[in-house]
Structure 1
Amino acid sequence: MMKEAYKLVIEYLKYNGAVVTESADKALVQLTEQLDRKFMNRPFYWHYRDSVNQSGEPMHLIIQETPGQLKANDLLSIHYDHHIFQSILGSAQQENQFYTAYEQSETSCMLYPWITIQLTASFNPPGLADIRMNSRISLISGIKYISGSHTCDNLSLSGTRPNGSIIQSNRLPFATAISILYSGIEHYVSDQINDDETVQVCFKHISAGLIYLRSFE
């Protein structure tokens, strides 16, 4: 889960205006003032700046995909186990609104749980068109479906649970399901670029949800 959490944190910071310079397994992040005030626990610094009517200097961070001992120019380095990383991750998860939806039915039915993830894969250097991906995995059978932007999913979903429906409990743990689905997405994208190692892939515009469907496969 660390890799998925890292991606979500980086996407969240970019969306909120941070300047992010990424390498293979880490990123240099220049925070905005708003992000610094929210996550860096420097209330006295910002109170002083406000009291003298001066602009402050938002911090720079290094965010690592996995724990390590990286030191660079006295910058703070954080990773999955760091409390600041967990604070940012919590906001990212909450503000991305991991939603719940139900397949609609006019009669009583059994509904089975799935995890769904939608995202856009973009490529550097430019040349390949972005791919908007729709994917889902059954929490009952483990079967997964992954498709590119030219395939539409015609499921009729709503935030309201159908009357008389029965919810089947999941058998596959959420963390396991998400890990399997992300691996499938990465494999799908690799096939599109023919495993060209010179092409870097960036996942963005990520949304996810727990959906209940009338089929478990």
Structure 2
Amino acid sequence: MAIENLNQFLEHYFTAHDCSLIQNEDGILTVQLTEEMDRALMNRPFYWHYIKKMGNKGDPMQLTLITNPDKQEEKGEWIHFGSPRLHQIFSHLTNNEKYTKLFQQLDTTVKTALYPWLVVNMKISYIGKQKKDEIISIGLQLVNGMMKFAMMDQLKEIPLQLAAADYCFTISPLIKVKSGFLRIESVIDQHVAKQANDWAEESIKTLQEESNMLKAFYNDRTDDEELVKQMEKELQEIKNRYQPTISYKVINGGIFYLVDGTIK
């Protein structure tokens, strides 16, 4: 999801990791870190090593982040898109928080059902003479089986929060997450099968040409066992370089609870 409100993003990030918000006003956010988050963000490995060696509990730091450009001179750390601190937070999320659970943000006074969507963001890599990556975002409604491509484009227009709003309740999924993921994977297989394969044909052609040239080079020296081994090694290297392959990698995903009809 695109981050439109950096302060709100940081607020959600720290509260999701059990950090207390000491101040959150006018673009100045002060948080009391937990030990886990102090270790992740504050670069104090020797402190924690010493504390644990001494058998003490330790004292996690407070962190003040400023997102309001007019408050840059205040006591704290100016954070913005491109700043090292924000890159550190993104890296922490990428490495540790690939999966999430979020709820549609609502202001209602009547009982409202929220339906579970399994959302998977997948990178498809077409690897051959050249490499091309494709990012696919698919959502599967775990009650009725409805499936949507470009799911993240729709989710970025929907306000989300970490807990269900008042008067909202969740509907139990009829499709298990593992089964849902297999459905999504099957749809991605079908998508890949429909793509043009000229990139693979070009890779195979280059593979054959390079292999034939190498064999011709060694043609008169195949009675030398060491040279044969060298040729086989180089043939394998050519195959590794040009053999067309397709790989999938899950970037991130999660369960999103949404009002019925929110996703069209």
Rg: which structure is higher? 2
TM-score (norm 1): 0.47
Provide the TM-score with structure 2 as the length reference. 0.40
